[in-house]
Amino acid sequence: MKMKRFLKFSLLLLMISSISPASDRYAGSAMELGIGARPLALGGAAAAMVNTGETFYYNPASLGMLKKPHINLMYAPTFGSFADPMATYNYMGFAMPIQGGGVLSINWTRFAVDDIPIYPELKGKSFSERNSNLELRPNGSPLGFFQDVEDVFYFSFAKTLESILPLGWWYGDLPFTFPLGINFKLLRQKLGDASASGMGIDIGSMIRFNLGTLVHQRQLGELTFGFSVLDITQTAVVWSTQHHDRIPRTLFFGCAYSQQLWFSQGVLNFFFTNQNKYGSYNYYGIELAAYSLAVRIGKNNDGLTAGAGLHWKRLHTDYAFASNSFSQVHRISCSISL
């Protein structure tokens, strides 16, 4: 129990650094945990991923490809064991196509750390003084506890345009779809007695076409390119302490290729995404889906990721596992199409 509280306290130091000057690198850091077990299992390579409502986080344009209403849920224990985590990260969202070819979506994420200990200041002037005087040594008992809660609300809209690109007499015409999307997000954080809020905007676009049509090979599948900018205005986070943070822009560029297989309506999907925020990073993922079952493997900055998905009637259930620099990560998410 003491070790668990110590780890929570260490995590708290990182969070507190987000309200100190020159710490914009940590502003809104909970949002960097991502959303969805399927994208995580694929290494986070989701900038060009479609057909699931949870990818609005990576590229709001992906919502434009939804044909049915979706309810999305996720449970993500963080920093600790799956059954008894030190922090929880949960997600819930709803996406609904509307008349005119658009899609509206509302989503909510919450990152929370409970029972963060508050320890008294150390007595004495030095370690040696505390070492020689037993009365100056701390007993390890906290003065109390407080909580960190970070909520983000997303309000999204996407619309898909369809057109035909004339390529001349040799290639003919190329039909393609061109989704566009935008997220408006509201951030709310409470850290002890301090609170903060902010508003941000994400934008995204995609282009999707059949590769077989382009090169006159019917057996080839769909090719998708995606580009998005998160926090395009460098979202300002204003604290009750009068301190201001800014969340830097995040650039996503990705591509995805979907190839139909010859058995049981099988599909083989390949994903690639480049993220640029504090540096340039590449993510990769491969997914094989058949018989209502999907297996996935990916690679992110910290190594390999893996997961699986099960499709039963209108219910999609996904699991992901990854190792990062803090701990092993497990995520479970589900999507219900209505």
Mean pLDDT value across the chain: 83
- Rounded Cα–Cα distance for residues 233 and 198 (Å): 11
- Rounded Cα–Cα distance for residues 104 and 94 (Å): 8
Cα torsion 206, 52, 197, 8: sign:
negative
The whole domain housing 95 covers: 2-118+147-337
Q: Write down the residue that tokens 């994903």 correspond to.
A: 271
Q: Where are the alpha helices (DSSP H) in the chain?
A: 2-16, 37-41, 127-132, 211-215
Contacts of 162 (CB under 8 A, 6+ apart): 175, 176, 177, 178
13 burial via Cβ count (<10 Å: 0-12, 13-18, 19+) = exposed
Contacts of 9 (CB under 8 A, 6+ apart): 116, 117, 119
- Rounded Cα–Cα distance for residues 29 and 150 (Å): 10
Q: Is residue 133 in a domain? A: no
Q: Is residue 131 in a domain? A: no
Q: Is residue 136 in a domain? A: no
- Rounded Cα–Cα distance for residues 249 and 245 (Å): 13
- Rounded Cα–Cα distance for residues 3 and 138 (Å): 16
Q: Is residue 66 in a domain? A: yes
Q: Is residue 47 in a domain? A: yes
Cα torsion 206, 304, 276, 28: sign:
positive
Q: Is residue 54 in a domain? A: yes
Q: Write down the residue that tokens 């949870």 correspond to.
A: 54
Report the 10 Å Cβ neighbour count for 293: 13
State the Cα angle at 52 between 50 and 56, rounded to 5°: 80
State the Cα angle at 49 between 47 and 52, rounded to 5°: 125
Asked if residue 255 lies in contact with residue 227, where contact means CB atoms within 8 angstroms, the answer is: no
Q: Is residue 15 in a domain? A: yes
Domain count, the chain: 1
- Rounded Cα–Cα distance for residues 241 and 180 (Å): 38
Q: How confident is the model at residue 170, as a pLDDT?
A: 61
Asked if residue 289 lies in contact with residue 308, where contact means CB atoms within 8 angstroms, the answer is: no
Provide the CATH number for the domain around residue 320.
2.40.160.40
Q: Is residue 123 in a domain? A: no
Under-70 pLDDT residues of the chain: 1-29, 79-84, 135-137, 140, 168-171, 264, 324-327
pLDDT in tens, 201-236: 999 999 999 888 777 777 888 999 999 999 999 988
Helix (H, G, I), strand (E, B) or coil at 217: coil
Contacts of 94 (CB under 8 A, 6+ apart): 53, 69, 70, 71, 72, 105, 106, 107
Task: Give the chain's length.
Answer: 338
Determine the longest span between alpha carbons in the chain, in angstroms.
Answer: 91
Q: How confident is the model at residue 329, as a pLDDT?
A: 80
The one-letter amino acid at 8? K
Q: Measured in whole angstroms, how far is the alpha carbon of residue 238 from the centre of its chain? A: 23
